[in-house]
A = this chain, B = another copy of it.
């Protein structure tokens, strides 16, 4: 184990304004300490505090001792061990190519306190397998408690849910049932014991994902860990590490050991690095090795572009923007070069065997997603979706958890068809969309072009929305872009929760609106998604009257 040659970098810590981290105990699992954020209001409000969902992890808890060289507490380790269906083992050895052959000063130090990996002794150790067996895991109860936002009473129901069935209260049994039905996933690799479990499904709060990741040219371990901490501070429910540069393996280890949220990856990106960036040189063996490498580290979900088949590729020739998914274009290149069916498709059942041994969830990638308004909802896109539906059934047969990735660039009038088809073709497996962007003409503002589509498709039933930052199509997001992307997508997700009629979503809106109407400025700031910006924008020189225009 390497010693760190520099002081351990620090990350952004501390509570948000007027906020206290509270912990709710479980009933079935009394040891659970489920975090929520309680926002105190001014005494003149004569109102109880507002309790909200808290994805930010221990970083916002002043009582937590944060040291990224130690990582977060491995709370789930006991739960996992107690189930008696896994074993520790030596694990795969790290190889030079895992870090892009980085050496010496250019090699990101290994995480100092590497855990020993675990795998299933036999069969599936997935939350889906447990749910089907009627077991309510600690993870399920944990996720259930989070969904209720500390409520003890049901709020007014008012919404149009398009067939979603959101209960007044989420019980652990409800979480189990939704997972068992395949309508929800609880991404929770057994090698990610630092995780604070959460659930993704259309009968739960709409979740959002933030992408981070270094590239060949920029950024370090410290930056990436901070980006993850920063993204969850503002509300990201999961984080995808899309690194493509050197040190992929070591940076990922640092991220996962410090991540209270599920971490997703696109293993194809690292596999491609291992073959020198030449798509044609990819092999099933390199890919398989990468899956195991990342599963042992604790990645919670993998984007796998197994739905892009050789015969789909000709369907893209008349497109305005061809194949824009990076994973999709890599696989299309491979298929065309070898004139063979994709190795991801051909080895799909073997992939399932790996996924179920660690409980890595599938995020079935849409390699043929439209890259422009012109290509939305075309034959290529929907042909791939059909394959994703087939693969969902295969994954379920192996007790693997599955969500389905969706577009992309879609004008408003074609958004609902995406949702409706996905529900039908993929048997209600959770949908996880990128935006969609509702016009192509605003590079620099694609958080907004896509926030419109994200709010709508979230309303229609998408379970998780992958953020788009202002730098989309133009460059790599910095810290400000990550925050802007996350806040924009929290808006979209919350607008969707309101429209679906989530029983508790409106409590925060109403509390903020009362504060606004009563000129309780501090309460208005503190209840907002971004108190810092709201406060900064407030101009003390304004006459009160001007603010009454709401």
Query: A interface vs B, CB < 8 Å?
Result: 159-160, 215-218, 244, 320-322, 324-326, 329, 371-374, 409, 411-413, 438-445, 447-449, 451-452, 455-456, 459, 470-471, 473-476, 487-488, 490-492, 494-496, 498-501, 506, 508-510, 512-514, 516-517, 524-525, 527-530, 533-534, 536-539, 541-543, 545-550
Contacts and interface: CB of A to CB of B under 8 A. Distances in A.
B320 A517 contact: yes
B474 A548 contact: no
Contact of A475 (B442, B524, B539): B539
B324 A216 contact: no
B539 A476 contact: yes
Contacts of A528: 441-444
Contacts of A548: 324, 326, 329
Contact of A451 (B371, B374, B451, B501): B451
B215 A546 contact: yes
A353 B191 CA distance: 77
B470 A411 contact: no
Contact of A491 (B244, B329, B413, B452): B452
Contact of A452 (B471, B495, B524, B549): B495
Given A217-B542, A492-B452, A534-B444, A473 B439 contact: no
A527 to B, nearest CB: 7
A473 B550 contact: yes
Contact of A244 (B438, B459, B476, B546): B546
Contact of A409 (B215, B537, B550): B550
Contact of A550 (B321, B442, B495, B517): B321
Contacts of A473: 516, 524, 547, 550
A15 to B, nearest CB: 18
Nearest to A525: B443
B217 A498 contact: no
Contacts of A438: 455, 491, 495, 498-499
A444 B412 contact: no
A78 B537 CA distance: 47
Given A371-B513, A411-B495, A412-B455, A533 B326 contact: no
B413 A541 contact: no
A215 B441 CA distance: 34
A543 to B, nearest CB: 6
Contact of A501 (B320, B413, B442, B471): B413
Contacts of A490: 442
A537 B442 contact: no
A516 B534 CA distance: 35
A261 to B, nearest CB: 21
Contact of A444 (B413, B449, B533): B533
A11 to B, nearest CB: 24
Contacts of A374: 506, 509-510, 513
A456 B545 CA distance: 30
21 contacts: A324-B517, A324-B549, A325-B549, A326-B549, A373-B509, A373-B510, A409-B550, A438-B499, A439-B491, A439-B495, A439-B509, A440-B509, A440-B510, A442-B487, A443-B528, A448-B451, A452-B452, A452-B495, A470-B537, A474-B539, A475-B537
Contacts of A534: 443-444, 474
A376 to B, nearest CB: 10
Contact of A412 (B445, B459, B536): B459
Contacts of A533: 444-445
B413 A160 contact: yes
Contact of A216 (B451, B508, B513, B543): B543
A371 B517 contact: yes
Contact of A529 (B325, B445, B538): B445
A339 to B, nearest CB: 23
A412 to B, nearest CB: 4
A506 B413 CA distance: 13
Given A440-B509, A451-B452, A473-B516, 16 more contacts: A244-B546, A320-B510, A321-B513, A321-B550, A326-B545, A329-B548, A371-B517, A372-B510, A411-B499, A438-B491, A441-B527, A442-B491, A442-B530, A443-B537, A451-B451, A475-B539
A501 B451 CA distance: 21
Given A439-B509, A517-B321, A541-B218, A495 B412 contact: yes
